[in-house]
Amino acid sequence: MAISLQQILIQTVNGVVTGMILALVASGLTLIFGIMDIVNFAHGELFMLGAYVGVLTLAAAGSFWLALLSAMVAIALLGALIYVTTLRPLLGRDPLTTILATFGLSLILQNYALWQFGPVARKIAEPISGHFTLFYLDYPWYRVVIALIAGAMIFALWMFLKFGTWGIWIRATTQDRVMAQAMGIPVPLVLATVFAIGSGMAGASGVLFGPLTAVDHAMGLDWILKVFIVVVVGGMGNLAGSIVAAIFISLLEAYASLWVSPAQAVIVSFVVLILTLLFRPTGLFATATR
C-alpha cells in the first residue's frame, strides 16, 4: 500500500492534536511527581471526573466554556481535598504506600462514577462545529482549537512556574523541601496547591477531550497508561520532557496507524517505553532542567 504525502500530513496534525492533550494531562502528573514524589494512579480518574463535571455543567448551563472552567475548578478542589485527607498523612513513608493509596483511590472514583452516572456513555457536544478542508478530509476546527487551548494552558503553567512568587516557591520546594521550609516558604500549602493545579489540569483535559470520545467511568484508564508512558519517556518530574515526549509518542502512533490499526499502533509507544527504560532510564530528555 502506497502512502501519500497527504496522509502523512493529516496524521501529523492528528498526532500533534492528541499529543497536546496528552501533554496537558502528563504535565499535571509530572508536576505532582516532581515536587512530592507521589505517583498519582488516580490521575486518570480526575480526568474522567472532569469530563463528567463538564457533562453536568453543559447540561445545566449550556456553555462549553463554563463547563471547562467549572471542571478545572471543581477537580482542583477535589485534588486539594484528596491530597490533604489521603496523601499528606503518608508523606515521608515508603513510596509504595502512596502508590497503593492512589491506586485504591482510582478504584473508588471509578466505581463512584459508575454508581452515580451509570454505564451508558455520555457525550459532550463540540463547542465549535465548523470544518475545514484538509486535503481530501473535512477536518473539524475543534481539534485544532483543543491543541491551541492545551498549548495555552501549558504555556500558562510554565509562565506561572517561571515568574512570580508562587513559581519560585514551587521550584524551591521541588529542589529542597527542607531548606524551602527554613526559608519561610509555607511548604504544606505549596504541596496542596501543586496537587490542586495538577488535578485541575487533568479535569480541564477531560472536558477538552470529551467531544472526541465517549465519557464513561473507564475513560481514565485508556489515558493514564499513555500518560505514564509519556511521563517516563520524558523523564519523571521533567515538565518540558513530558511535553516533548507527549508529542513525540503521539506522532509515532499516528504514523504507525498508517500501516496498522490504531489499536496496534499503541505497541509503538510500549516499544519506546521499553527502549527508554533500557537505555535512558532517566528519560529521553533528561538534560533539560526543571
Partner 1 sequence: MNPGSGAAPGAVLLEVDGLHSFYGKSHILHGVSLVIGRGEVVGLLGRNGVGKSTTLKAIMGLVQPSEGQIAFEAQPIIGLPAHRRARLGIGYVPEERRIFRFLTVTENLRTGLDRHGVSKQRKKALLEKIYEFFPVLVERRNQAGGTLSGGEQQMLAIARAMMLEPKIILLDEPTEGLMPRMVGQIREIISVLQAENVAVLLVEQNVPLTLEAASRIYLLEKGMVRHHATVAELRADHSIIQQYMGV
Q: Which is nearer to partner 1, 74 or 239 (CB)?
A: 239
Q: Which is nearer to partner 1, 119 or 184 (CB)?
A: 184
268 neighbors 18 (Cβ within 8 angstroms): no
Q: Which is nearer to partner 1, 66 or 290 (CB)?
A: 290
Q: How far is the CB of 236 from partner 1 (least distance, A)?
A: 16
* CA proximity to 244, closest of 254, 256, 231: 231
* CA proximity to 249, closest of 269, 263, 225, 222: 269
CA 59, 62, 67, 73 dihedral sign is negative
Q: Which residues bind partner 1 (CB under 8 A)?
A: 165, 168-169, 171-172, 175-176, 178-188, 289-290
Q: Which is nearer to partner 1, 168 or 265 (CB)?
A: 168
Question: Which amino acid, one-letter code, is at 242?
Answer: S
Q: How far is the CB of 182 from partner 1 (least distance, A)?
A: 4
Give Cα 203 distance to the centre of its chain: 9
* Alpha carbons 216 and 207: distance in angstroms, whole number: 12
* CA proximity to 24, closest of 192, 152, 142: 152
Q: How far is the CB of 180 from partner 1 (least distance, A)?
A: 7
- Map grid coordinates 470529551 to a residue: 210
Q: Which is nearer to partner 1, 125 or 179 (CB)?
A: 179
Q: How far is the CB of 31 from partner 1 (least distance, A)?
A: 15
User: Which triple of cell numbers denotes residue 51?
Assistant: 469530563
Q: How far is the CB of 190 from partner 1 (least distance, A)?
A: 9
Q: How far is the CB of 179 from partner 1 (least distance, A)?
A: 4
- Map grid coordinates 496537558 to a residue: 24
Q: Which is nearer to partner 1, 107 or 183 (CB)?
A: 183
